[in-house]
Amino acid sequence: MRTLVLWDVDHTLIDAGGVSAGIYASVFERLIGGPPEKVAAMAGRTDLAITTETLRHHGIDPTPALLASFTAALAETFATRSHEIAARGRVLPGAHAALKALAARPDVIQSALTGNMEQIARVKLTAFGLTDLFDLDVGAYGMDGVERPPLVRLAQQRASGKYGDAFTASNTVLIGDTPHDVRAGHEGGARVVAVATGATTAPALRLSGADLVLNDLTDTPNVIRAILPI
């Protein structure tokens, strides 16, 4: 039986160097005509939710047409500024080794479950040379829904459609750094390994209900045991 391993991206695998908030603000100003009072909280949330909340905070109706224009502009701007992500950001310690070890296993299908829309996830992972370690076609992304839990089932369906295996909570693992990731896994149907590499502490991740909590990804054998305990 193969295991579907779904990784969050920001603050689990990489730190984008603070580029994301600045890009949101620049796109808002370009499309709306002035700087935003604030950009909605990003950690653990989808691009669809962040964009919708940011627009509503400013009294702007997030119509389908406006959301399409806004998110297309986001994707384009991330692509044109990918060099900034590479220069200002970094791969978090141990992440590359863990991804490489899992990618080499025939019993693992490795993809992303992230609040980033697919185009942005690909830009970030490409900036750090990580894209080839994933099958991103079977991931789930920030324009697939407002909330994260349904994204787990969507990724399972995409992986089942491509590989023919049935993916359920018994053979799906989600790795992330926020309580949103933990809730997504438990409500969506996955075991959750949380890593305290973002803003949420290890004790808080345990309280949120993560099945297992790691301080970071630096001990590759331990990471693999956490993800594939059998």
Q: Encode pLDDT of 26-51 as tens digits.
A: 888 888 888 888 877 777 788 888 88
Buried b / exposed e across 149-184, counting CB within 10 Å, b at 16+? bebbbbbbebbeeeeeeebeeebbbbbbbbbbbbbb
pLDDT at 21 (0 to 100) = 83
196 DSSP 8-state letter: S
pLDDT at 163 (0 to 100) = 96
pLDDT at 90 (0 to 100) = 96
Whole-prediction pTM: 0.91
Show the low-confidence residues of the chain (pLDDT under 50). Answer: none
Q: What are phi and psi of 203, to 5 degrees?
A: -60, -40
pLDDT at 194 (0 to 100) = 97
In 3-state terms, what secondary structure has residue 176?
A: strand
pLDDT at 8 (0 to 100) = 96
pLDDT at 32 (0 to 100) = 87
What's the token pair of residue 173? 């693992």
pLDDT at 230 (0 to 100) = 67
pLDDT at 39 (0 to 100) = 78
Strands laid side by side in the 108-112 sheet: 108-112, 3-7, 172-176, 191-195, 212-214
Q: State the pairing for strand pair 14-15/90-91.
A: antiparallel
